Structures are given as structure tokens and as C-alpha cells.
Amino acid sequence: MTDIRTLGEFIVEKQSDFPHASGELSSLLGSIKLAAKIVNREINKAGLVDITGAVGENNIQGEEQQKLDVYANDKFKAALEARDQVCGIASEEEDEAVAFHKPLNLNAKYVVLMDPLDGSSNIDVNVSVGTIFSIYRRVSPVGSPPTKEDFLQTGNQQVAAGYVIYGSSTMLVYTTGNGVHGFTYDPSLGSFCLSHENMTIPQDGVIYSINEGNYIRFPTGVKQYIKYCQEAVPEEKRPYTSRYIGSLVADFHRNLLKGGIYLYPSTASYPNGKLRLLYECNPMAFIIEQAGGKATNGFQRILDIPPTELHQRVPFFVGSTNMVEKVEGFLREYP
């Protein structure tokens, strides 16, 4: 048999990569892996059984919750509670942080922040969606329920982050601060197998990803950058290619592999941008930096922004370093 390495084996092999006890990370990622498999199985049935469409409720952000948003949230929450490494979670689909109360959970050292289903409006039309997660060591004493401070840590304190993309194949990509590694799910084995070790993003790219429907109210610097992307300068490979799926995970994953930039600036509907700092931008920023790229709000490193609220939004520019720096230049020039 050829050299197949599962995610579980890989984590054990890379024990020294994790600043804390490797068994804990392995168990924690094990619960994420399990929930991802369950969600993957359900997503694959979309269209066959009654799992698409809206629940009829809005989440705290005023977004219409999809059945799969709720399903994925419940599965990830249950899987994280069942193992004893996590004392609480915060999620896009929960108004407040959720504390786990079993004695073993109270003694747990980690909190997880997550976007259980990213791009959920794409489910009904069979387009890739994802899950994003971010892991911190708690700052409150063990033995007690987690506090607000555990969840409102600055992104540079993350001990691990990752995403699952439910795409043409299902992949789990994660970092613990020692590179970015990707695993493809083999349904016949029921395992995530190492397929992309040490992923790096090209410093330059030719893909820009932005919802141009919001153009009229973009900041002038962003408008200037879009114009720059569209100009014909063949020796600089411009005009660039525009690609926008509408699932952050899928747009990010493509740009990570090929080189590119994803932009979600302030818009008329979202004056602070649409994406959420704690469970979308921070984990993706940690991953992109580990892959050699850059993530900013246009002026400041995402990972250095001190959070003030659980569901806080920030403008988000992420991808190939030179592309992100270019848009930052335009934003400085046209504030």
C-alpha cells in the first residue's frame, strides 16, 4: 500500500508542533473531524431529503437561518461537548457564547469559535460550502465556566484554526502555527488523508474575488483597486480574472492554491464589512499568514485587532501578500 497518512496519524507525528499537549489537540480535532463527516454526509443528501431551505428564524445577525446552519451548529456543538477538551463554544448561530457544564468540560483548557456552515445560501444550488473553526486556550481558571474574556481574545492568541470545504471533494485544512496542512476525505475509508502538506500561497496572483454588486458604496481605494485589476497591462498579467463563489471558504481555498485576493470591504448594507472577526476573519487570517500570505482590514493586521463583541464585523482583505499590499496602498492614497 502507498504511503497514506490520516489526519489522526499526522497530528501524532507532528506532536511537537503543538505548544500544548498533543493528545488534547488530537482529541479536539477528532471531534471536529467527526462532526465534519456527519455534516458532509448530510450535505451530500441535499436535494434528496428535506434538509435544504430556511428554518423560518433569523440568527442574531439578522440572517435567515438555513436548516443546515442549525444542523451543522448542533453537530459541531455536540461533538465538541462530548469530548472533554473544550469548556465552551461561540458560534455564528448562537446569540451568546455557550458554556459546557459537565465537570470534565469545566476542567477543559480550550474554547472553540466557529462558523458551522459558511456560504449556507449556496446549499440549495449545489455550490461548495464550508465550516470554519478557531481554537484558543482559555484565560479564565480551569474548573469554572468560561468567561467573556476567553472568547474575546485577539486573533494572534489562536492555538489552532482551520476549515472544512465541502466541495467537489471534502477537505480539512488546518494550522497550529507550524505551516498549513490539507487532508482530503476518502469516503471509502471514512478518513481524512494527507493530500496537501505545507501549503503555501503564491506571493502574486491573478484572481480577485469580490461581490461587485456592492460597487457603488465601496470605499474609493477599493474602487481604484478594482480599476487597477481590470486595466490591460499584459506584462503584469492584467486584467486579472474575477472569480466569486459567495462562500468565503471556497473563494479562500481557491485563492490559497492558485494565488489571489479576497475582498469584503464596507458596503451600503454592511458599513463594517459583512464578515465576522472572531469566527471567519481570524481563523482565515491565521491560516493565510502561516501559508505566507496576508490578511488586513485595509489598514491593520486582522490578527492584531482586539475584539470587543462576539459577532463583530470587519472589512476583510486576504490572500497573496503583494495583492493585499497593493489594495492597502490604494486605501492609504484614497482614505
CB under 5 to 8 A by kind: which of ligand AHG, Mn ion, none does 75 bind? Answer: none
Shortest distance, position 75 Cβ to ligand AHG, whole Å: 15
* Between 73 and 296, CB nearer to Mn ion: 73
- 267-271 long-range contacts (CB < 8 A, ≥24 apart) are 267/211, 267/214, 267/217, 267/218, 268/214, 268/216, 268/217, 269/214, 270/313
Report which of 306, 308, 307, 262 is spatially closest to residue 284, judged by C-alpha positions: 262
Instruction: Find out whether 236 is annotated in a ligand binding site.
Output: no
Contacting positions for ligand AHG (CB under 6 A): 63, 92, 115, 118-120, 211, 246-248, 274
Q: Which stretch binds Mn ion (CB under 5 A): 45-53, 88-96, 212-220, 224-232?
A: 88-96
Instruction: Find out whether 92 is annotated in a ligand binding site.
Output: yes
Instruction: Find out whether 262 is annotated in a ligand binding site.
Output: yes
Can you spell out the DSSP letters for 93-157? T-SS-EE--SHHHHT--EEEEEEEEETGGGGGGT--EEEEEEEEE-SSPTTS---HHHHS--GGG
Instruction: Find out whether 266 is annotated in a ligand binding site.
Output: no
**How many residues contact Mn ion, by CB under 5 A?**
5
- 45-51 long-range contacts (CB < 8 A, ≥24 apart) are 46/123, 46/124, 46/126, 47/126
Distances (CA, A) of 223 to 11, 158, 258, 324, 334: 43, 33, 24, 14, 10
CB under 5 to 8 A by kind: which of ligand AHG, Mn ion, none does 97 bind? Answer: none
Shortest distance, position 265 Cβ to ligand AHG, whole Å: 11
251 binds Mn ion per the rule CB under 5 A: no
- Beta strand residue intervals within the chain, DSSP E: 54-58, 64-66, 86-91, 98-99, 110-118, 129-137, 160-166, 170-175, 180-186, 191-196, 207-209, 241-242, 261-264, 294-296, 316-319
Shortest distance, position 272 Cβ to ligand AHG, whole Å: 13
Nearest-angstrom CA–CA distance, 324 and 289: 12
Shortest distance, position 323 Cβ to Mn ion, whole Å: 22
* Between 24 and 118, CB nearer to ligand AHG: 118
Out of 92, 251, 289, 328, the only residue in the binding site for Mn ion (CB under 5 A) is 92
**Pairing outcome for strands 241-242 and 54-58:** unpaired
Nearest-angstrom CA–CA distance, 319 and 203: 9
- Whether 193 and 186 have beta carbons less than 8 Å apart is answered as yes
* Between 25 and 117, CB nearer to ligand AHG: 117
* Between 120 and 282, CB nearer to ligand AHG: 120
* Residue 13, number of CB atoms within 10 A of its CB: 12
Please list every residue from 271 through 330 that binds Mn ion, using CB under 5 A.
Answer: none
CB under 5 to 8 A by kind: which of ligand AHG, Mn ion, none does 211 bind? Answer: ligand AHG
81 binds Mn ion per the rule CB under 5 A: no
Shortest distance, position 194 Cβ to ligand AHG, whole Å: 26
Please list every residue from 34 through 63 that binds Mn ion, using CB under 5 A.
Answer: 63
Instruction: Find out whether 9 is annotated in a ligand binding site.
Output: no
Shortest distance, position 207 Cβ to ligand AHG, whole Å: 15
CB under 5 to 8 A by kind: which of Mn ion, ligand AHG, none does 81 bind? Answer: none
Instruction: Find out whether 333 is annotated in a ligand binding site.
Output: no
Instruction: Find out whether 118 is annotated in a ligand binding site.
Output: yes
Q: Please report, as a single letter, which amino acid is at residue 117.
A: L
- Whether 227 and 239 have beta carbons less than 8 Å apart is answered as no
* Between 180 and 250, CB nearer to ligand AHG: 250
115 binds Mn ion per the rule CB under 5 A: yes
Residues marked as binding for Mg(2+)?
92, 115, 117-118, 280
Contact residues toward Mn ion (CB under 5 A) are 63, 92, 115, 117-118
